Structure 1
Amino acid sequence: MKTLFTKHNLFVSISAILYVIIFYNGVSLLAWVCLIPLIYGMNHSGKHSLFRAGLLYGTIVGIATFYPFPKIISSFVGDTSMLGWLFSLVAILISALFFGGVLFLFSLLKKEKYPAWVNAVLLAALWSLSEWVLAYIFNGMPWFGFQMGNLLVSNLYFIQPAEWGGLYLLSFLVVFINTWAGLLLVKSGMKQLWKPAAFFACYLGCCFLLFKHAEGLNESNESKTVSIAIMCENTAPEEKWNNNNGPQMVKNLLALNQQANALKPDVVVWTESAVPWTYKPDDAFVQEVMKNAGAANTIQILGMNSVYDSNAVYNSAYCILPDGKVSGRYDKRFLLSLAEKPISFFLLPFLNSTDGFYAKEGSSTVPLPTPKGKIGVLICNEAFVAASAIDMVRNDADYLVNISNDGWFSEVSFMKDFHFNSARLRAVEVRRDIAVNSNLGISGKIAATGVITDSKQSDEGFVSKIVLTKNDYRSLISKIPNFMLIVLCILTIIFASLRFLFK
């Protein structure tokens, strides 16, 4: 028992607690020092000690990240199901093994004779590449978002380099600066810390220049705008449509849509699956919506499922023009595992968000065409997936919209913040303005610079009008989506070769 309460474990625990504080409260500045206690504490540790340090770090992070999940899952079930606790325990185990594995790999490849900055590059490359592997393995499970770069998303300036290398470049920089500072602290105390501090100062200067460049993009395109009415009904997800409440809920949606049309926007954006049945062109509700939209001359981006077969639906967004014609349809491509798509034919029924149906993955990456420009659509958790925005921009999207339903975790504020800030990161990566409309979440406008305006969250339905600016700028990550992955692989291969081929 005494071995648990060591100086080594204390430093590891401090780093994990700092991670939790940053993740929950958005104190992004702490991200640049949060790993220093971990690095300092594992000084001269062997392979097994580093693995155990990673296990402890990952366990603390996992507990803090997944403790709300039993409550969230039980809200799906309607009781205190043990499945929620089982899910959380498995997720915590994955977190522990992930961080333990990263530090174990570092112990295999590092050399004491390397300068501190070289070992820092090694750990940063291994850590960021491991994050990519984890995201690939658990594709469709954004709750495993352990990327260190996510600790920066609440800060406008820190995320600007994402237009070059996305989330994994941010992770690399966070781990690199922390590791460099920690190793220098071990070897020479405070006197060498000016080196990572100077690097950080240069990084801040670069962030500012990137921000000003992005600001100039919007200023040069001020005449190319589109007005959007965000129509957020804020309906509790457990409130099921039936013969008793259906007429009133239809009445509420139509009234809200009338308010949106009255603002005279170019486009009205609904939330994800705002209408809980499948689309039909002769549907009485859709026809009533288009009757009102035609009178107001507004385009409707309508969240509504589409039939695939008798057991599956597409989670779709329809673009309906004022004359009632459907100009395009986007089907969600990146589905939530266990909730919308099964794993090995297994779908947890209590997580099923499609009322007994499987969701079918869409395939098209074509933006929705409108007279006001091409609209790239991201549905729900696609805000966590860089490829969702990148593919739209590579197909000439002028601006983006993210429609979602955060109702199932509306009482967990940090998850709503994380979702909205992930959309912010997408806006910066591809340098496109984005409108976010989230049922019981945070809705608003995020500019291509990352600046947030008109954000709002409420328990009651509302409409708000925002203006997006179009531009055709292509960021580096939009041109070469795998740029950072290639860099990380090259660095890892170089270090592995130096360790095992050139001893």
Structure 2
Amino acid sequence: MKSVFTRSLILIALSAILCPVAVMTVQFYLAWVALVPLFIATLEAKPRKAFMPGMGFGLVFCAIMLYWMVGLVSDFAGSGGYGIAFYLIALILSGIYFGSLLTGISWLAANDRPAWLKGLLAASLWTVGEWIYSSLLPGMPWFGLFRVSNMVLDNLYAIQIASLSGAFIISFFIVWINYMLAAYVAKRQWKMVAVPLGALLAYMTAGFGMYEANRPSKTTQHLGVALLCDNTPPNVKWDEHSGNELVTNLLKLNNDALATNPDIVLWSEAVVPWTYRNDDDFLAEIRKMAGTAPVTHILGMTTDYSAESIYNSAYVLLPGGGITGRYDKRYPVSMAERPMAFISLPAPAR
């Protein structure tokens, strides 16, 4: 009994490590096996006993995936306590989510159904789960990192099917193939392994066909984009005494970007920490540096919307210097850019 428990623990931990590695490093080949150990460990689990393995998986997955959260939130809030609190909240939510997900999958798999059908049901529930937390928690975008579709984003053929119904359908196929593979390997039905491998081959063949059918012609005009990310520490960016240093750095980065002759210079979110004004000296210098070059700037700045509201915005600065439009962030980050359950970070995070 102890050896079975230890084996299950090792398998769950293995998946909990493989999944974040596959997501963070975008490992296409790992995507099709990363969940296999987890499913092998929970194939025979009763619904009431599947929650804890799922929670353990979610806790380890989240702990690795969101390791950066403590430092980032601490820097923005100016206190390590906020970073730890954010991290713990994410861990708890992740544990509850994956615990509930594995409970549901175990319930669907409880009947005597063929592995391919159990896999379809498991993949359907997993995909619905991804859609639910994406819809209910739009202000917590880091949970989008848990989508298994992120594992294959570097493969042109694997992502083609997303044009039909978004990234969720990619997650569906990844989970389905992982589940079937786990079921057949666990029962040592080696010949049946051909089923998930065949499904994978069909999936990739369909992606190849979709890509070739819509392959851009060699005469297609290319668009050059220069991504400008300053990576200035928050305690420097939001310090009123470091304005000159910040501006000097941003103008240098802009000059380096313009040297690549881009069509668009894309500045990162809130790269400019003060609110937009049309007569801003900084914007005037950006216009001057561009000169007559046909370059468009998409610039992250805040907007003084009202006496009580400041929006996180992006401004489009056209060739010639005119502002053609503004986009305001639709889903502010919960607890940072807007309160959640009466909890919010202190300035300068807000």
1:134 equivalent in alignment to 2:112: no
Deviations 1:262-312 (A, max 9, x none): 555444333333322111122233233324434445433332221111232
- Check conservation: 2:75, 2:234, Cα contact below 8 A: no
Aligned mates of 1:243, 1:90 — CA distance in 2:
32
Structure 2 counterpart of 1:250, one-letter code: V
- Check conservation: 1:105, 1:126, Cα contact below 8 A: yes
1:327 equivalent in alignment to 2:328: no
Structure 2 counterpart of 1:286, one-letter code: L
Name the CA shift for 1:3/1:86 in 2 (closer, same or farther; >3 Å): farther
Structure 2 counterpart of 1:219, one-letter code: S
Equivalent residue number for residue 182 of structure 1: 182
Matched position secondary structure for 1:9 = helix
Equivalent residue number for residue 417 of structure 1: none
Structure 1 counterpart of 2:20, one-letter code: V
Aligned mates of 1:175, 1:340 — CA distance in 2:
34
Aligned mates of 1:234, 1:72 — CA distance in 2:
12
Greater fraction of residues in helix: 2
Deviations 1:319-344 (A, max 9, x none): 23344332222222222222212224
Structure 2 counterpart of 1:287, one-letter code: A
Equivalent residue number for residue 313 of structure 2: 316
1:98 equivalent in alignment to 2:97: yes
Equivalent residue number for residue 116 of structure 1: 115
- Check conservation: 1:228, 1:265, Cα contact below 8 A: yes
Equivalent residue number for residue 150 of structure 1: 150
Aligned mates of 2:76, 2:149 — CA distance in 1:
31
Equivalent residue number for residue 303 of structure 1: 300
Equivalent residue number for residue 57 of structure 2: 57
1:353 equivalent in alignment to 2:343: no
Aligned mates of 1:14, 1:336 — CA distance in 2:
31
**TM-score, structure 1 length as denominator?**
0.62
Deviations 1:370-404 (A, max 9, x none): xxxxxxxxxxxxxxxxxxxxxxxxxxxxxxxxxxx
1:269 equivalent in alignment to 2:269: no
Equivalent residue number for residue 80 of structure 2: 80
Equivalent residue number for residue 278 of structure 2: 281
Aligned mates of 1:45, 1:248 — CA distance in 2:
59
Gaps of 5+ in 1: 355-503
Matched position secondary structure for 1:349 = coil
1:29 equivalent in alignment to 2:29: yes
Equivalent residue number for residue 247 of structure 1: 244
- Check conservation: 1:317, 1:331, Cα contact below 8 A: yes
Aligned pairs for 1:162-173 (under 5 A) are: 162-173=162-173
Equivalent residue number for residue 339 of structure 1: 336
Shift of 1:106: 2.4
1:44 equivalent in alignment to 2:41: no
Matched position secondary structure for 1:273 = coil
Aligned mates of 2:280, 2:20 — CA distance in 1:
48
Aligned mates of 2:108, 2:162 — CA distance in 1:
28
Matched position secondary structure for 2:327 = strand
Structure 2 counterpart of 1:60, one-letter code: V
Name the CA shift for 1:273/1:16 in 2 (closer, same or farther; >3 Å): closer
- Check conservation: 2:292, 2:320, Cα contact below 8 A: no
- Check conservation: 1:159, 1:207, Cα contact below 8 A: yes
Deviations 1:121-153 (A, max 9, x none): 011101110121122222121222322222222
Name the CA shift for 1:26/1:4 in 2 (closer, same or farther; >3 Å): same
Aligned mates of 1:3, 1:84 — CA distance in 2:
38
Name the CA shift for 1:102/1:296 in 2 (closer, same or farther; >3 Å): closer
Aligned mates of 2:259, 2:154 — CA distance in 1:
34
Structure 1 counterpart of 2:90, one-letter code: A
- Check conservation: 2:42, 2:106, Cα contact below 8 A: no
Aligned mates of 1:255, 1:85 — CA distance in 2:
35
Structure 1 counterpart of 2:143, one-letter code: F
Name the CA shift for 1:170/1:226 in 2 (closer, same or farther; >3 Å): closer
Aligned mates of 1:15, 1:114 — CA distance in 2:
24
- Check conservation: 1:293, 1:300, Cα contact below 8 A: no
Name the CA shift for 1:72/1:282 in 2 (closer, same or farther; >3 Å): closer
Shift of 1:94: 1.6
Aligned mates of 1:326, 1:204 — CA distance in 2:
44
Structure 2 counterpart of 1:275, one-letter code: V
Aligned mates of 2:247, 2:44 — CA distance in 1:
66
Equivalent residue number for residue 475 of structure 1: none
Aligned mates of 2:232, 2:43 — CA distance in 1:
52
Aligned mates of 2:224, 2:250 — CA distance in 1:
21
Shift of 1:162: 1.7
Matched position secondary structure for 2:76 = helix
- Check conservation: 1:318, 1:326, Cα contact below 8 A: yes
Shift of 1:241: 6.0
Structure 1 counterpart of 2:48, one-letter code: H
Equivalent residue number for residue 204 of structure 2: 204
Aligned mates of 2:295, 2:304 — CA distance in 1:
26
Name the CA shift for 1:284/1:63 in 2 (closer, same or farther; >3 Å): closer
Gaps of 5+ in 2: none
Provide the aligned C-alpha RMSD in A: 2.8
Aligned mates of 1:111, 1:120 — CA distance in 2:
12
Aligned mates of 2:100, 2:332 — CA distance in 1:
27
Structure 2 counterpart of 1:161, one-letter code: I
Q: Does 1 or 2 have the higher relative contact order (CA < 8 Å, sep 6+)?
A: 1
Deviations 1:19-39 (A, max 9, x none): 233234433312211222222
Larger deviation, residues 252-261 vs 180-189:
252-261
Which residue of 199, 216, 219 corresponds with 2:217?
A: 219
Shift of 1:231: 4.1
